[in-house]
Structure 1
């Protein structure tokens, strides 16, 4: 007798033939997919401990969010009308407790679960924070308890070094200087502890903030300023390569226009290649896109206004043969973990930029959050499609609703009309973790209450209340302006005296 049989659904396999089975079924046993066929055939072949009737449902692989941020779920919309990056980065460096990462991990994994994301990448903080392993350990523990697979990404942030970081011990803030090599050691400890942990629900990648540190870390750099790699760029690439090789893990980082041109100059240690997954890649040149495709470097990109300023050449990369995934980059300051929205936004942005409404058809979009995303994170041997022998990470989407009826052209219906809350059932590793939108692994109300309490405490500790207030031009105005009194650069500078923050 097998563990689980899903019957009478429309099965969207995402296998190499992209089969769609009407009145289809999926047999699951021992955490893996045992069989995929029409319902009549599998009912004759198997008896199951549990049979799930998926009439009026699509059955498909769980979504894979190839890039997001641990911590962000506690800071949704805070400072989004201010200088968001320095404010929130400063908060991560100095005002979050060790327990924060556990409660935030519970919240973000729960949101991902209810959106049909069965595997999520989490870069810890706005820039990676790895001065202490406890943050990643707590985050991974939370994801494991909820039942969502997590790729934990830790590594060094950008120069200058050393950096100041704070821990909170018995309610007191202890601030210390941390060197670059100490941060690398912390990241190694995380990878050693978490890669393939929790029955392989958890993996850990080495994650420098960007692949080249000597240029703008968040935007494309003009060719006139691409002077070449500096000593720190070379040292970082060498150390990151050594860590990836030592622990047989992958490399994940951000990249923007100009960085790829510079990175390829380091022939021996370039942070490019099939074991590398780069987020954003906005504003890259044609030559840089060609380098990514030729080196087999994986790319993910999230939709947002910055794509209007400097687009990721997703369509060109795909046509060159690169693997590209859609990611959320969620959830702060204003992005959810809704992969349906991410697909639609991505399509709209690139159709608008190229002035062609036929770019990125719905089938390709669905590939980019399932099998292509699995390839990006190096897990496509087990995830991303419903095929015999793969891990049983499966979701069902309830089509028996006005906005998803009539029930035909199922991929179109999912991509163009569905939303996260239409995901009805979620199975991870053969285990039902959500059934009828009821989460079976944790007390959802308790998770929300604990997250609220920790978020409010962090806001108060970090003095973020002023960044939660409407600006003077919030109401009745066509354009908003930042109130200069809400942001003072000196508020985000730290000194150290006898180990304690002053």
Structure 2
């Protein structure tokens, strides 16, 4: 007797032949896919402990979100009115005003949202820039994901210079701030990898994650070719250390990159943070030469749709045509992005069709590949995830088509990509275990998760003084354009000088 049998669904395999089986079934046993075929064949072949009727549902691989941020789920939309200063506001909050427990409560909320959106594997960079001065943050976040039951890739590593950095911990309600060196951050990141990589029956993995692959140029957008003066000593040192850690623990490298960085990185022939074991998020504003380098080195790329694509686009169609593996990510959930991969697919298509003035770019089948099998390739997990094939891990979701916006039931890929939303996901199975059935989560108490998240978020907001960034401006209602008109953000409030003064 096998563990589980899904029957009477439309099975979208995402296998090498991209088979779609009407009235299909999947047999699952001991956490893996045992068989795939027509319902009449599998029901006569297997008896199951549990049988789920998937009539009027699509059965497909669990979605994979290859880039998001741990912590962000607590701060959705905060500082949206002050978006120019969003990064320093959030970075300062993560460095100095979150408790150790914050990462656990946020992890539960983040994992729950991803679960209910059909994401069975999510990548989490801890903070707006990686926070890696102590392993407890990553360990608490991974613990939360493990309890909810979905897979997590935890990403920790150094943020950008200057070093040393100041970080704060909260002990008995009091803030304790200390200087942390670059070498100490690397050591703590290693502890995270030691503790979490392939943990939780390999539902948890840990990647080494410098904030960007080149630290000496613009960290959050493309740099002009006139300012690409070459790699600094720190750039070279960081690449060497990151490569050493990746080799030592046989793990992968995850980082951000923008225009100019690939051109510089490839100049470090020995340790360039490029190649099949590297996954780079964003890659906005890269040149054609840089796109060619990414393809030729086998570097994996992902991008999330958003307004910044209008000024500096990630050349996704061009990268695909050059042979690169490209995935869609949410980069969620703050400041204004959800973990809804269905919306991310549609937004990605719109961005590139508009930019290229050609509505035939990025057909629906390719978009679905970019959140399943291509996403699995990006994080080096396609041997077990990303498609429904015999022997692979049984990470499976179903989407309920028996709703007005998803009826009639034909052209199933088009229906999923163009009309479905996260709330249409009905069942979620990870490692062969049903963790959501009929949208009811079995692993955690949703009400408790939401209550604890609200309590911790409000406490953190008060502690960090973020209330002023939650207030609408006088242009919020009835105006075509917003202005702030008052100085909410003060750089002195976030300066190293002020924080060092507090230490004294």
Aligned equivalents of 2:148, 2:405: Cα separation in 1: 29
In structure 2, what is the equivalent of residue 18 of structure 1? 18
Instruction: Select 1:283's aligned residue among 282, 285, 288.
Output: 285
Instruction: Select 1:208's aligned residue among 175, 189, 210.
Output: 210
Unpaired runs of at least 5, structure 1:
none
Alignment root-mean-square deviation, CA: 1.1
Query: Does structure 1 retain, via aligned residues, the 8 Å contact 2:131–2:156?
Result: yes
Aligned equivalents of 2:274, 2:500: Cα separation in 1: 42
In structure 2, what is the equivalent of residue 239 of structure 1? 241
Instruction: Select 2:276's aligned residue among 274, 277, 281.
Output: 274
Alpha-carbon distance, 1:273 to partner:
0.1
Query: Does structure 1 retain, via aligned residues, the 8 Å contact 2:492–2:498?
Result: no
In structure 2, what is the equivalent of residue 69 of structure 1? 69
Query: Does structure 2 retain, via aligned residues, the 8 Å contact 1:175–1:499?
Result: no
Aligned equivalents of 2:361, 2:332: Cα separation in 1: 24
Alpha-carbon distance, 1:482 to partner:
2.5
In structure 2, what is the equivalent of residue 372 of structure 1? 374
The C-alpha deviation readout for 1:218-244, integer Å capped at 9, x for no partner, is 010000000000000000000000000
Query: Does structure 1 retain, via aligned residues, the 8 Å contact 2:69–2:124?
Result: yes
Aligned runs of 1:105-120 on 2, under 5 Å?
Answer: 105-120=107-122
Question: Cα 1:496–1:355, aligned 2, differ >3 Å: closer, same or farther?
Answer: closer
Aligned equivalents of 2:501, 2:359: Cα separation in 1: 58
In structure 1, what is the equivalent of residue 256 of structure 2? 254
Query: Does structure 1 retain, via aligned residues, the 8 Å contact 2:5–2:27?
Result: yes
Alpha-carbon distance, 1:485 to partner:
2.2
In structure 2, what is the equivalent of residue 490 of structure 1? 492
Alpha-carbon distance, 1:474 to partner:
1.4
In structure 2, what is the equivalent of residue 443 of structure 1? 445
In structure 1, what is the equivalent of residue 43 of structure 2? 43
In structure 2, what is the equivalent of residue 146 of structure 1? 148
Aligned equivalents of 2:402, 2:95: Cα separation in 1: 46
Alpha-carbon distance, 1:475 to partner:
1.7
Instruction: Select 2:351's aligned residue among 349, 352, 355.
Output: 349
Aligned equivalents of 2:254, 2:308: Cα separation in 1: 21
Aligned equivalents of 1:498, 1:492: Cα separation in 2: 11
Aligned runs of 1:190-209 on 2, under 5 Å?
Answer: 190-209=192-211
Aligned equivalents of 1:497, 1:36: Cα separation in 2: 59
Aligned equivalents of 1:401, 1:358: Cα separation in 2: 28
Alpha-carbon distance, 1:484 to partner:
3.4
In structure 2, what is the equivalent of residue 459 of structure 1? 461
The C-alpha deviation readout for 1:430-465, integer Å capped at 9, x for no partner, is 000000000000000000000000000000000000
The C-alpha deviation readout for 1:150-196, integer Å capped at 9, x for no partner, is 00000000000000000000000000000000000010000000000
In structure 1, what is the equivalent of residue 135 of structure 2? 133
In structure 1, what is the equivalent of residue 80 of structure 2? 80
Aligned runs of 1:319-338 on 2, under 5 Å?
Answer: 319-338=321-340
- 2:307 is the alignment partner of 1:301: no
Aligned equivalents of 1:142, 1:57: Cα separation in 2: 29
Alpha-carbon distance, 1:495 to partner:
4.6
Aligned partner of residue 33 in structure 2, secondary structure: strand
Question: Cα 1:486–1:33, aligned 2, differ >3 Å: closer, same or farther?
Answer: same
The C-alpha deviation readout for 1:260-309, integer Å capped at 9, x for no partner, is 00000000000000000000000000000000000000000000000001
Aligned equivalents of 1:237, 1:445: Cα separation in 2: 44
- 2:425 is the alignment partner of 1:418: no
* TM-score, normalised relative to structure 2: 0.99
Aligned equivalents of 2:487, 2:252: Cα separation in 1: 43
The C-alpha deviation readout for 1:72-101, integer Å capped at 9, x for no partner, is 000000001211111011000000000000
Aligned partner of residue 190 in structure 2, secondary structure: helix
Aligned partner of residue 486 in structure 1, secondary structure: coil
Aligned equivalents of 2:330, 2:314: Cα separation in 1: 14
Aligned equivalents of 2:313, 2:500: Cα separation in 1: 47
Alpha-carbon distance, 1:422 to partner:
0.1
Query: Does structure 1 retain, via aligned residues, the 8 Å contact 2:124–2:153?
Result: yes
